Amino acid sequence: MTSPEQSELSPSSVWPWVVMAVAGLVTFVAAMSVSPDAVQGQLSRIMYVHVPAAWLAYLAFGITMFGSAMYLWKKSLKWDRLAHSSAEIGVFFTGLAIALGMTWAKPTWGVWWTWDARLTLTAIMFFVYLGYLALRRTTDNLEVRAKRASILGVVAIIQVPLVHFSVVWWRSLHQAPTIIRPEGPDMDTSMVVTLLIAVASFTVMYVAMMIKRMELAHLEDEITIEEQSHQGPAAGDAVVAPDLAGGV
Amino acid sequence: MDPSVEWNWVLLAYGLTYGALVLFTTSIAIRITKARKKLAGSA
């Protein structure tokens, strides 16, 4: 069995928590300082947390795909831990993006939820990655778990472009891209700058979160290995599968 | 829409965001502490 690369416990660092708090504060100050939108008024401020949350979902699942592909190639558990940590954070931010979208939809569209292509595909993506996290709990064998999860981690990335381009490919109630488009941003410069600050702050927050979540993943792998080294044979170990092929 | 009503929605959205962020990061911190204690106990 492959053991975690670092066997001794290093002291837990505090600075990622500080970075997360500062990044959150920067987003809040920037979002509250900018002028409101001429049409949506104060409601436009929801954009400065909704869009970064959705961006982090994309980024996190992209990193999950990268970590999964690297595990399948290198067979090192550190890549599986990267994929796992990023998937959990991605699920969190997908759920947050959905919740914030609903909070924005109710006062602007008049409904909390509608079966629009963007919304429906995002919900499916959320549940598929919840399935990824559930799949990891089906076995304690670190290699088997990593292999199963990595295959799903690579395949599931197809949903990210589907979600992103759904507003372009299908008629949608959700607005089309307003920043990254051939004609340039369709927004006031101050709003674009604020949105970019919020996206950058959330990205820094993601990096800090990943450092702590990977520390946890490493500790969890250590515990699993520790527990398995103290376990005697299980009752089922004595049962041998029947040789139906007659030894051929 | 009345600006005060708009601010209520903004407050809900930001409360949701920062509340969820605090809960999620706290859960990571608690799980790290528990895992460290468990490993220290078994060593």
pLDDT at A248: 53
pLDDT of residue A2: 46
Query: Smallest CA–CA separation between B20 and chain A, in Å?
Result: 8
Choose the mutation target among A18, A45, A56, A111 for the interface with B, i.e. most B CBs under 10 Å.
Answer: A45
Residue-level pLDDT at A149: 97
In this predicted structure, what is the pLDDT of residue B7?
A: 96
| Residue ranges of domains in chain A | 55-226
pLDDT at residue B43 in the model: 64
- The ipTM value here is 0.94
Question: What is the Cα–Cα distance from A236 to A231, expressed in whole angstroms?
Answer: 13
CA A195 to chain centre: 20
Asked whether the beta carbons of A83 and A68 are under 8 A apart, the reply is yes
Please state, for a pLDDT cut of 70, what percent of chain B lies above it. 98
How many Cβ atoms sit within 10 Å of the Cβ of residue A52? 30
Segment-wise mean pLDDT, segments of 10 residues, chain A, 248 residues: 53 91 97 92 96 97 98 96 98 98 96 95 98 95 96 97 92 81 82 96 98 96 89 72 69
**Residue A74 and residue A114: Cα distance in Å, rounded?**
43
Greatest distance between any 2 Cα atoms in chain A: 79
Identify the residue whose tokens are 């600075």. A15
Choose from B8, B11, B21 for mutation: most chain A CBs within 10 A. Answer: B21
Q: Does A43 contact B6 at a Cβ distance shorter than 8 Å? A: yes
pLDDT at A162: 96
Amino acid at A172: S
Q: Residue B9: what pLDDT? A: 97
The pLDDT of residue B3: 84
Q: Are A87 and A60 in contact (CB under 8 A)?
A: yes
